[in-house]
A and B are shown apart, each in its own frame.
Chain A
Amino acid sequence: MSSDPVLEVENIEMVLGDGARCVQALKGVCLSLAAGEFVLLVGPSGSGKSTLLSIMGCILKPTRGVVRVEGRSTEKMDKERLAQLRRKHVGFVFQSYNLFPGLTARQNVEASLAIRGHRAADPRETAENALRSVGLAHRLHSLPGQLSGGEQQRVAIARAVVANPSIILADEPTAALDSEAGRGVLQELRRLAREQGRAVLAVSHDARAFPFADRIVCMQDGRILSAGTEPDLTPALPRLAGDNCHA
């Protein structure tokens, strides 16, 4: 199913902090994401998942190693160029939603278009459509504070996809949600991969997320431990993750 990888990292090493408190958060990580696949990144707290996600999303530059987005290496890019790459290719979903509390759902999604300088299409209509597609047609004008956690995360998903990025990166998108809302969000992420052909990478602690994934990557102590790609591995993965990944 995977063709050329949309997003690819090779031998990533990452040192965070400085002096005595410096931590090697990643110790030679290789990972690639193809269009249309939903990959789950699991592992104990502190294993480097967020750091890897930030590097793959071109938010952080790795200490060593290569990041390729749509086949292009980011090595020589400066901050502005990386920001440009993010707004062109990457949609982010955060654990704590990171919506603008003063903006309505629709305005939050519109803001995502605004930073991309979208002028041609009707941004309002585009934002409303994105919200409709995540099942929030009735919540266009609500403020984040008036929405449930699950609804807020779906607004965040609408915001991430509205500009049509090929890559979606989500850091523990269901951690703050109850299981039903979490399931809704995971279904939504899977739909982005299956139906819209985006490459989706999500960090999750939640064993209930595993059945949704095409592939599960397990991290520990800055390294990738194991990766299950075979469909028949999937039933075993909750146990694998529970035994090996959750310290």
Chain B
Amino acid sequence: MIGIIAFKNLLHDPARFFATAAGIGLSFVLVTVQLGLLAGFDRTISAMIDHAKADLWIVPNGTAAFDDPSQLESTQRFAAAIAPGVKRVTPMLVGFAEWRRPGGGSTTVIVVGSDPRTGSIEPWNVRSGRTYDLKAPDAVAIDTSYSQQLGVSKRGDLARIEGIPARVAVTTNGIRSFTTSPYVFTSLSQARAFLNADASRASYLAVELTPGADAALVREHIASRLPNVEVLTPTEFRRRNVERWLLETGAGIALLAGAGLAVAVGSVIMMQSLYTSVNDHRKEFATLRAMGSSKRFLMSVIACQAAICTLAGCALASIGNFGVIALSASSSLPIQISASLMLVLGAVAALMSFAAAFAAAAKVGRVDPAEVFAQ
């Protein structure tokens, strides 16, 4: 009966019910989209670190982000390689370079140099060619989502990086960069040529450990022996990278502020919607109270009403969210709305809705049941 009272209370005025559900749904979409953007951001800027085969990273002292490297002595890898527990240490060279389109004009790219198979990172989401093709001289991998910016779109297309010929040997789809500069993968030696770095230089040394090795011990061992470098776990490097972009760039801060604001605005709208919905039925609740209903019964009806509104709102929101995901899929910052994000938000929404409903209920509970005698 509690459910029936709650349900019929709401359904009696479908327009109002829809408005409540829409209010909740919209705030839900707002929050998921903003948090999804944040999640997408986190994923995009960490993609390189997440895809690299590295148990430890040796990075130049003070490295703030993957895309913003200085260089270290690549020969240090031999010193690192002899540390107990280390299976392999491979250099990686990363740097900005000028990409000249075959049709004229240029753009900036981030060259990522690492040998296929033996290196620590290679392109993923390959659509044409094989990563091994990057072994060939002047071979590069580009992402087709940047075709327009790069002026190339398929295998065999030719461009120039810092004046040196670059031939598209591999294409990928969906390797996005957070900056406006696309990633271009190539072999280590080719990257050295593009970036005019001599053979003794590298940006990072990726350390792979033998199975069962104690990462903390190895790290200590390496750190104590190599000067001017830091040894980071992937988690640390990832966090440093995210923090650099999120907290120290305008775009990151805007995104963070947007998410914070969305959560605040979303909560307010949602609570407001529910509060109004409960308040709209004040007369019914006052009548129940006058008839002698216990506070508990009253709260159950209100909680039930809140739950129905929240569920309806979430249902509307999931439709909205699918639309947003579809629209954003090909943007430079795909919105990452995972099932777990939705679940967490659903739980948060439920909590918030109950808080709102009970705030309203407290008012109803204090309602003068004598109100029912008003003419």
| Chain A residues within an 8 Å CB radius of B375 | 95-96, 172
Q: Is A54 an interface residue (CB 8 A)?
A: yes
Most buried by B among A79, A80, A98: A98
State the CA gap A171–B371 with chains docked (Å).
Answer: 12
| Chain B residues within an 8 Å CB radius of A53 | 373
State the CA gap A84–B291 with chains docked (Å).
Answer: 9
State the CA gap A116–B375 with chains docked (Å).
Answer: 27
State the CA gap A172–B288 with chains docked (Å).
Answer: 19
Q: Given A59-B370, A94-B372, does the pair A102, B292 have CB atoms closer than 8 Å?
A: no
- The B1-21 residues at the A interface (CB cut-off 8 A) are 1-2, 4-5, 8-12
Q: Given A100-B5, A102-B11, does the pair A115, B292 have CB atoms closer than 8 Å?
A: yes
State the CA gap A80–B287 with chains docked (Å).
Answer: 15
Q: Is B369 an interface residue (CB 8 A)?
A: yes
- A110 pairs with B1, CB closer than 8 A: yes
- The B350-369 residues at the A interface (CB cut-off 8 A) are 368-369
Give the residue of A79, A107, A159 whose beta carbon is less than 8 angstroms from that of B4: A107
Q: Is A227 an interface residue (CB 8 A)?
A: no
State the CA gap A97–B114 with chains docked (Å).
Answer: 81
Q: Is B297 an interface residue (CB 8 A)?
A: yes
- A103 pairs with B5, CB closer than 8 A: yes
- The A14-72 residues at the B interface (CB cut-off 8 A) are 50-51, 53-54, 57, 59-60
Most buried by A among B10, B292, B369: B292
- B292 pairs with A85, CB closer than 8 A: yes
| Chain B residues within an 8 Å CB radius of A102 | 8-12
Q: Count contacts on B: residues with CB < 8 A to the other chain.
A: 27
Give the residue of B287, B292, B370 whose beta carbon is less than 8 angstroms from that of A98: B287
Q: Is A210 an interface residue (CB 8 A)?
A: no
Q: Is A90 an interface residue (CB 8 A)?
A: yes
- The B174-215 residues at the A interface (CB cut-off 8 A) are none
| Chain A residues within an 8 Å CB radius of B2 | 114
- B12 pairs with A87, CB closer than 8 A: no
- A87 pairs with B291, CB closer than 8 A: yes
Give the residue of B4, B289, B294 whose beta carbon is less than 8 angstroms from that of A84: B294
Q: Given A86-B290, A102-B11, does the pair A80, B373 have CB atoms closer than 8 Å?
A: no
A2 to chain B, nearest CB (A): 25
Q: Is A141 an interface residue (CB 8 A)?
A: no
Give the residue of A50, A101, A114, A159 whose beta carbon is less than 8 angstroms from that of B370: A50
Q: A57-B290, A107-B4 are in contact. List 20 more A-B contacts (CB 8 A).
A: A51-B370, A54-B369, A59-B368, A79-B295, A80-B294, A83-B293, A83-B294, A85-B292, A86-B292, A87-B292, A87-B294, A94-B287, A94-B373, A100-B12, A102-B10, A103-B5, A107-B1, A114-B5, A114-B297, A115-B292
Where the two chains meet, the residues of B that have a C-beta atom closer than 8 Å to any C-beta of A are: 1-2, 4-5, 8-12, 283-284, 287-295, 297, 368-370, 372-373, 375
A selection of 17 A-B contacts at a CB cut-off of 8 Å is A54-B369, A54-B370, A85-B292, A86-B290, A86-B292, A88-B292, A94-B372, A96-B375, A98-B372, A102-B11, A107-B8, A110-B1, A112-B291, A114-B5, A115-B297, A116-B292, A159-B291
Where the two chains meet, the residues of A that have a C-beta atom closer than 8 Å to any C-beta of B are: 50-51, 53-54, 57, 59-60, 79-80, 83-88, 90, 92, 94-96, 98, 100-103, 107, 110-116, 123, 159, 171-172
The 3 A-B pairs at the shortest CB distance, nearest first, are namely A87-B292, A102-B12, A86-B292
